Amino acid sequence: MSMKHICGVLAAGAVLILAQPALADVKAGVDAWQQGDYVKAVAIWQPLAQSGDPDAQFNMGQAYKLGRGVKTDPSAAIDWYGKAARQGHARAEDNLGLLMFQQGDRAGALPYLQRAAERGEPRAQYIVGTALFNGDLTAKNWVRAYALMTRASESGLAQATASLRQMDKYIPQDQRNQAVAMARSIGQQNSSLAADEPRRPAPVMREAPAPVRSAQLPPSASSAPRTAEPAPRPAPAKTAAAKPPEARPTASKPALPKPASGGWRVQIGAFSAEARARTLWTQLSAKVGGLSGYQPYIMTSGGVTRLQAGPLASSADATRLCSAIKAAGAECMPKKM
């Protein structure tokens, strides 16, 4: 996965959130912006920003980034975002890191992006996850890389979902299990941070998120299979939950059928988002002994994603596998292909 493929993070269409606190003059600028009078909005915000108001500084950064009311100037946008960020304006810091990265200052952007990722910014999670996977600008950590990419995927970032599919080819199952647990912990932290953040009025407008081009994920040193490049041992992370023990069949339970070619599969569920199907597969692989030996099939049609596993040689084999999956708490149905 090369960081060269993640340019354009803040191209046209990036999320626009204007700060509009109770201060009447700043809100007057927001009202003017909402009505399409960008020149008036900038004229209101500029003296306030120069006097040190962080919301006005953030809004000036937005104006310069998008070229509304002023000529597009990424350097000026970075300057205004930086001034607001130094006063603790979290959204300004998020935008600062993303714009610095887009402008080519990847090393300078990384600390801001790491903090933005911790706050739950999906584009930052995608970029930092890519860096951690490659060991680019930071130490390689496949567990945290997969966890951040999972969070970005669950937020609806399609490029993160595509990257997860490629990561699956190289990251061992036990590290993916750890990553899923870490992703849950990160989600809980994001919710806690959002609850503690000073409340600001609702944004006056949003634009569709900018597409982030999919990263190429083969290991940077080689395109060989996973066994040719052992996964690094990630440093213990406070947010990582303990690896769930692998369920092992006992003598009192029927043995699961061995993976084989055949015309049968089992359908484990249908979901509105592919990320949920992938998460369930990872969880069940840790609970159902032998399940990870089968091929997962994740198919999306008509807005519904179906998770299947196989192939199996017979209806009896599919039924036995379904019994083990149901015992782990999931739905399952044999399917003739």
Q: What is the mean pLDDT of residues 292-321?
A: 81
Residue 123 lies in a domain: yes
Q: Cβ–Cβ contacts within 10 Å for residue 156, how many?
A: 12
Question: How does pLDDT run across 64-86, given as a tens digit for each residue?
Answer: 999 999 999 999 999 999 999 99
* Dist. CA 192–CA 215, nearest whole Å: 30
Q: How confident is the model at residue 317 (pLDDT cuts 50, 70, 90)?
A: confident
Q: Per-residue pLDDT for 189 more than 90? A: no
pLDDT computed for residue 18 by the predictor: 63
pLDDT computed for residue 196 by the predictor: 52
Q: Per-residue pLDDT for 137 more than 80? A: yes
pLDDT computed for residue 279 by the predictor: 82
Please indicate, yes or no, whether residues 19 and 167 belong to a single structural domain of this protein. yes
Residue 319 lies in a domain: yes
Residue 232 lies in a domain: no
Residue 224 lies in a domain: no
Residue 323 lies in a domain: yes
pLDDT computed for residue 299 by the predictor: 78
Q: Per-residue pLDDT for 167 more than 90? A: yes
Please indicate, yes or no, whether residues 270 and 191 belong to a single structural domain of this protein. no
Please indicate, yes or no, whether residues 184 and 65 belong to a single structural domain of this protein. yes
Q: Per-residue pLDDT for 234 more than 60? A: no
Q: Which of 42-46, 53-57, 244-248 is predicted with the least confidence, judged by mean pLDDT?
A: 244-248
User: Can you give the CATH number for the domain in which 287 is found?
Assistant: 3.30.70.1070
Q: How confident is the model at residue 2 (pLDDT cuts 50, 70, 90)?
A: low
**Number of folded domains that form the chain:** 2
Please indicate, yes or no, whether residues 53 and 171 belong to a single structural domain of this protein. yes
Decide which of 173, 196, 219 is a domain's last residue: 196
Write the single-letter amino acid at 136: D
Decide which of 167, 196, 225 is a domain's last residue: 196
Please indicate, yes or no, whether residues 163 and 282 belong to a single structural domain of this protein. no
Please indicate, yes or no, whether residues 192 and 268 belong to a single structural domain of this protein. no
The domain in which residue 33 lies consists of: 3-196
Q: Identify the CA nearest to 11 among candidates 78, 98, 122.
A: 98
Q: What is the mean pLDDT of residues 26-36?
A: 91
Greater model confidence, 105 or 256: 105
Please indicate, yes or no, whether residues 172 and 271 belong to a single structural domain of this protein. no
Greater model confidence, 224 or 274: 274
Please indicate, yes or no, whether residues 112 and 31 belong to a single structural domain of this protein. yes
Decide which of 180, 196, 212 is a domain's last residue: 196
Residue 205 lies in a domain: no
Please indicate, yes or no, whether residues 154 and 40 belong to a single structural domain of this protein. yes
Sheet holding 264-271, edge to edge: 295-301, 304-312, 264-271, 333-336
Q: Per-residue pLDDT for 47 more than 60? A: yes
Percent of the chain clearing pLDDT 90 (strictly above):
45
Q: What is the mean pLDDT of residues 132-151?
A: 94
Please indicate, yes or no, whether residues 130 and 278 belong to a single structural domain of this protein. no
Please indicate, yes or no, whether residues 22 and 117 belong to a single structural domain of this protein. yes
Nearby residues of 143 by Cβ (< 8 Å), 6 or more positions away: 175, 178, 179, 182, 234, 237, 240
Greater model confidence, 315 or 254: 315
Residue 140 lies in a domain: yes
Q: What is the mean pLDDT of residues 321-335?
A: 86
User: Can you give the CATH number for the domain in which 17 is found?
Assistant: 1.25.40.10
CB 334 within 8 A of CB 266: yes
Residue 240 lies in a domain: no
Name the average pLDDT for the chain: 76
CB 141 within 8 A of CB 132: yes
Please indicate, yes or no, whether residues 21 and 151 belong to a single structural domain of this protein. yes
DSSP E strands in the chain: the ranges are 264-271, 295-301, 304-312, 333-336
Q: How confident is the model at residue 220 (pLDDT cuts 50, 70, 90)?
A: very low
